[in-house]
Structure 1
Amino acid sequence: MTADQILAEIREANLSYLMLAQSLIRTDREQALYRLGVNEDTAAMIDMLTPAQMMKIASGNTLLCRFRMDDDLVWNLLTNHGKSAANDGIGRLHASILMAGRHQEAA
């Protein structure tokens, strides 16, 4: 993949992310805050963006979204390393609880 292709993919991901975020915020704000991992001020700003503003923001060369799972515990729970398929649901639930707690700490 060339540098130009990577930049085009980043721009497309940014626009998709902004459109999804705005839709989530307008549909169910509380769920959006949790699922996106943003605070109320950021949600309000995303909610008010016009299509032209979203295009301008998305055209940058840096991803707007990021992974929130930045520790081994959550990654291991999500990927089920060393666990049976039967524990998959429990691991995902545990990971969701950990991430929800971190969202509350950040808010």
Structure 2
Amino acid sequence: MNADQMLQEIREVNLSYLMLAQNLIRSDREQALFRLGISEETATLLSSLSPAQILKISSGNTLLCRMRVDDDLVWSLLTNHSKDGNDSVNRLHASILMAGRHQEAA
């Protein structure tokens, strides 16, 4: 993948992210705040963007969303595929840890 392709991919991700964020915020604000890991102020701003603003913002070369999972324990829980069938327990535990971090940030 060359640099131009990478920049185009970033722009597509930005556009998808902004459209998803706006839809989530408009349909269920509380869930959107949790799932996107954003503040009330950011949610208000995102929900008020016009389609033209979304296109303009998404056309930049900087990725607008970020990985919220920056904890080795959470990554371990998400990627650990155990033989004893505890995958759902691991995912639940990871979700609980990430929810706690969302509360700390709010």
**Superposition TM-score tier, normalisation by shorter sequence:** over 0.9
Q: Which amino acid aligns with 1:94?
A: H
Cα-Cα RMSD: 0.9
1:35 is aligned to 35
Distance 2:14 2:84 in 1: 33
User: 1:66-77 counterparts in 2 under 5 A?
Assistant: 66-77=66-77
Q: Give deviations 1:18-55, integer Å, cap 9, x for gaps.
A: 00000000000000000000010000000000001001
Q: Which amino acid aligns with 1:15?
A: L
User: 1:34–1:85: structure 2 CA closer, same or farther, 3 Å change rule?
Assistant: farther
Distance 1:71 1:32 in 2: 22
1:94 is aligned to 93
Q: Which amino acid aligns with 1:41?
A: E
| Count of equivalent residues | 106
Structure 1 position 106 matched with structure 2 position 105? yes
Structure 1 position 46 matched with structure 2 position 46? yes
1:8 is aligned to 8
Q: Which amino acid aligns with 2:43?
A: A
Q: Give deviations 1:35-94, integer Å, cap 9, x for gaps.
A: 00001000000000000100111011111111111011000000016x326110000000
Q: Which amino acid aligns with 1:25?
A: I
* 1:73 alignment partner, SS class: helix
Runs of 4+ in 1 over 6 A off after TM superposition: none
Q: TM-score, normalised by structure 1?
A: 0.96
User: 1:14–1:73: structure 2 CA closer, same or farther, 3 Å change rule?
Assistant: same
Q: Which amino acid aligns with 1:4?
A: D
* 1:86 alignment partner, SS class: coil
